[in-house]
């Protein structure tokens, strides 16, 4: 593996960890608060603060879509989860 490939692999691993942390923290927040409100709106700014900006935002969007689908298909949450993405 070249130095560049190793660097890219390391960045991808770090981003995966960030994505998992984001997903888990959102899941926890929603789980704790969903019964007290009529639903959850998750709104993202143009870019999530990250080393890789837009690419990270796209990955986070996929995680959030997965979270929202679980809320619908698995009836994981008692209320809907709405997602607003700005300027993607």
Tokens describing residue 4: 């560049």
Question: What is the separation, in whole angstroms, between the first and last Cα of the chain?
Answer: 33
* Spatial contact of 44 and 85, defined as CB atoms under 8 Å apart: yes
Q: Per residue in 53-62, pLDDT tens? A: 555 566 666 7
Q: Where are the domains of the chain?
A: 3-85
pTM of this structure:
0.36
- The Cα 15–Cα 11 span in angstroms is 6
The answer, yes or no, to whether residue 71 has pLDDT greater than 70, is no
DSSP letter string, 7-47: HHHHHHHHHHHHHHHHHHHHHHHHHHHGGGSS-EEEEE-SS
Q: What is the pLDDT of residue 88?
A: 44
Q: Per residue in 7-58, pLDDT tens? A: 877 777 776 777 677 667 766 766 666 555 555 555 555 444 555 555 556 6
């Amino acid at each position: 593996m070249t130095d560049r490939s190793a660097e890219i692999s390391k960045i991808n691993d770090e981003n995966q960890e960030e994505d998992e942390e984001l997903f888990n923290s959102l899941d926890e927040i929603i789980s704790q608060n969903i019964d007290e409100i009529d639903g959850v709106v998750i709104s993202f700014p143009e870019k999530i603060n990250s080393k890789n900006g837009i690419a990270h935002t796209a990955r986070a969007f996929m995680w959030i879509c997965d979270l929202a689908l679980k809320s619908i298909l698995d009836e994981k949450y008692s209320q809907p989860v709405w997602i607003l993405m700005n300027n993607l």
